Chain A
Amino acid sequence: MDYTKQIQEIATRLFAEDKIDVFVGYRLTGFDDNQVPALIRESKDVPLLVFNQKSVFNLSNYLKNDHTRNKRVGLVVKGCDSRSLNLLLTESQVKREKLYVVGIACEGVVDDAGQKMQNCLECMVPAAVVYDELLGEANMERRFIINADIQDMAAKELVQRREYFEEVFENCIRCNACRHSCPLCYCAKCCIDQETATLYNGANTTSSAFHALMTWSLHLAGRCVDCRNCEKACPSHLPLHLFHKWNERVIYENFQEHLAGVHEGDRGAFYKYSMQDPDDFIM
Chain B
Amino acid sequence: METVTNQLVSIEKPEIVAPPDWQPVIIGILCNWCSYAGSDLTGTSRLQYPPNIRIIRVPCSSRVDTWFLIKSLQTTADGVLVSGCHPGDCHYISGNYFARRRFLVTKKLLNFVGFHENRIQFSWVSAAEGPKFAKVVSKVTEDIKKLGPLHLYKKENFEK
Q: Which residues of A contact B (CB under 8 A)?
A: 147, 150-151, 153-159, 161-163, 165-166, 169, 191, 199, 203, 205-208, 210-211, 214-215, 217-218, 221-222, 243, 246-247, 249-251, 253-255, 269-270, 273-275, 277-279, 281-283
Contact = CB atoms under 8 A, between A and B. Distances in A.
A158 B9 CA distance: 6
Given A154-B5, A205-B155, A275-B97, 6 more contacts: A203-B158, A221-B105, A251-B105, A281-B104, A283-B136, A283-B139
B105 A273 contact: no
A253 B3 contact: yes
Given A218-B106, A246-B109, A273 B97 contact: yes
B16 interface: no
A154 B112 contact: yes
Nearest to B120: A281
Interface stretch (B25-33, B41-49, B51-59, B66-74): B66-74
Given A203-B159, A282-B122, A282-B124, A270 B102 contact: yes
Contact of B1 (A155, A191, A253): A253
B123 interface: yes
Interface in B1-30: 1, 3-11
A282 B100 contact: yes
B50 interface: no
- Interface range on chain B: under 10, 10 to 19, 20 to 34, or 35 or more? 35 or more
Contacts of A222: 105
B121 A249 contact: no
Contact of A154 (B1, B4, B101): B4
A243 B109 CA distance: 7
Contacts of A273: 94, 97-98, 100-101
A154 B7 contact: yes
B152 A162 contact: yes
Contacts of A207: 74, 153-155, 157-158
B113 to A, nearest CB: 4
A15 to B, nearest CB: 45
A243 B112 CA distance: 9
Contacts of A157: 9, 11
Contacts of A153: 112
Given A207-B155, A211-B74, A250 B114 contact: no
A151 B104 contact: no
A250 B105 contact: yes
Contacts of B108: 246-247, 250
Nearest to B123: A283
B49 to A, nearest CB: 14
Given A210-B153, A246-B112, A277 B101 contact: yes
